[in-house]
Structures are given as C-alpha cells and as structure tokens.
Amino acid sequence: MANPHRGEVAARIGGRDMTLCLTLGALAELEARLGGGDLVGLGARFAEGRISARDLTAILGAGLRGAGNAMSDDELARLPIEGGVRGAAEIAVKLLTYAFGES
C-alpha cells in the first residue's frame, strides 16, 4: 500500500497495483534523462505545464524504479495505465507534487 507521507503514489499499471516514488535517485535519473540541468530547472519546467508523453514515461518509470520496481521505460510504455493518458498525467502530478511541494 502506498504511503503518501513517504511520497508514494499507488497506480494500476499493466493490470497490477504498483507503487511509485520519486526518491533522490529517481530525481537524479530524471535530471539526466530529461536534461533539466538541476532540480530547480526540472521543477520549474514541470510547474509551467510543459510535460510531453516522453516526460510522462520518464517520470512514471523513475517513480516505479524509485519504489523498487525493476521496469524500463520501454516496458512501461507498452503497458496500459488505468485512466489512460489522463491517468498517467494524474500520477505524474502527484509524484511531482510530493517531490517538489505545491507552489
């Protein structure tokens, strides 16, 4: 069960209940993958609402791995996410809100 006090988000991905969490390591992975420069730049980019499908895959993939799930972004991209793209975006927003706080 996901614990929001630890920044964890519950999601149904590929027909399985999974937990996601943007740990410090997951955030470092996002910086490297998305070229955000640093956490401030990455946070500012997402706060402006500039999130692509590639970004969603990277955020959810990093969140899965941050919570201990061994899944590549390519594997994730082939799985159905409950709620479709809107569901994926809602998961990403929760993860980012937990990681960066509300503005």
pLDDT of 103 > 60? The answer is no
Radius of gyration of the chain (CA): 12
Averaged pLDDT score across all residues of the chain: 89
Number of alpha carbons in the 13 Å side-chain half-sphere of residue 86: 1
Distant-in-sequence contacts of 71-76, Cβ < 8 A, 24+ apart: 76/13
Most confident of the following: 24-33, 35-44, 47-56, 79-88: 79-88
pLDDT digits (tens, 9 = 90+) for 49-97: 778 899 899 999 999 999 999 999 999 999 999 999 999 999 999 998 8
Measured distance CA(89)–CA(40) in Å, rounded: 20
Looking at residue 36, what is its pLDDT? 66
Number of other CB atoms surrounding residue 82 within 10 Å: 14
